[in-house]
Chains A and B, each alone.
Chain A
Amino acid sequence: AQTVTQSQPEMSVQEAETVTLSCTYDTSENNYYLFWYKQPPSRQMILVIRQEAYKQQNATENRFSVNFQKAAKSFSLKISDSQLGDTAMYFCAFFTGNQFYFGTGTSLTVIP
């Protein structure tokens, strides 16, 4: 069975600082994709960053980067220079075959 675990229900960070959100997953598959989605309050979910499991290089998107440790089945998200607009729920997701699996989310608050 595929599972995604986010062990940090809530986190906060000072504006302009860096924060790391954790995600671990469990699968017996070798080929899969990992995602971080952002869901701002009362707004729709959008993709933040994507990582293909066959790529060793960690994905980056502007202020967002991941630390992908395939052997450890870990996929953390680092947000640099945090901005007020980063306040949101963040969901780690895992895709293999034809189905997505989501974690329970981390609520991030950026403090002015």
Chain B
Amino acid sequence: EAEVAQSPRYKITEKSQAVAFWCDPISGHATLYWYRQILGQGPELLVQFQDESVVDDSQLPKDRFSAERLKGVDSTLKIQPAELGDSAMYLCASSLLALSSYEQYFGPGTRLTVT
């Protein structure tokens, strides 16, 4: 069964350092989401792509976060510089968004710890 892939699964970094996360959605899924999930809370949308275009990045802290999906397939989320408050799970999800299905498929996430 096709799955959303993410790497790394765990990342520990010091504050002020740069960190990057990678996501490979399910083949054929044009829509890709990056979420941040703080422990004990629900996912918060950071950025949404439709193919290679950003559809919504209103909640992305653009002074330190950036995201790209250059070829409309896999995507990278970067944080530079990392801050202590960035410690969270970063989830990637993809969706077909066809009329018959609006289901999101989630990857395993990257757990980031900033020290």
Identify the A interface with B (CB < 8 A).
4, 33, 35, 37, 43-47, 50, 91, 93, 95, 98-100, 102-105
Q: Report if A98-B55 is in contact (Cβ < 8 Å); known contacts: A105-B41, A105-B42.
A: yes
Contacts of B97 in A (CB 8 A): 98
Identify the B interface with A (CB < 8 A).
31, 33, 40-45, 48, 50, 55-56, 91, 97, 102-109
Partner of A100, one of B33, B50, B107, B109: B33
Contacts of A43 in B (CB 8 A): 108
Chain A nearest CB, measured from B69 CB (Å): 16
Q: Assess the B42–A45 pair: CB atoms within 8 A.
A: no
Nearest chain-B residue to A100 (Cβ)? Answer: B104
Partner of A47, one of B42, B103, B107: B103
Contacts of B45 in A (CB 8 A): 99-100
Chain B nearest CB, measured from A43 CB (Å): 7
Contacts of A104 in B (CB 8 A): 40-42
